[in-house]
Amino acid sequence: MTDQAMEKLARRIMLDAARQEYGLLQAEQLEHVFSPAFERKMKKLLRRGKHPVWYKTLHAAACVLLALLLSGCAAPGGQPSGPGDLRGLGAGDP
């Protein structure tokens, strides 16, 4: 047997062994079952991905509303007179 034939035979044997091993590994793999919570999160993520402009607009509107509420501009009763205004906080009459 020549060296070339021996190399060809060794290569074929190694490939067959690798195919058999991979086939066994592939047969052992089980189908993964995702939890219902994960499925819900993925559906939400996919829905958000289909409508990115809508979600970004909602996010921007929520940020503006939060900024207005925190700054006191949207507070009922007008704007506060400043940081020294303690009326209504039980500080008494100055």
How far CA 57 is from CA of 43, 52, 54, 66, 68, in Å, comes to 20, 9, 5, 14, 17
Reported as a single tens digit per residue, the pLDDT across 51-74 is: 889 889 999 999 999 998 888 875
Q: How far apart are CA 64 and CA 19, in angstroms?
A: 60
pLDDT in the model for residue 78: 53
What's the half-sphere exposure (Cβ side, CA atoms, 13 Å) at 47? 7
Mean pLDDT across 26-55: 87
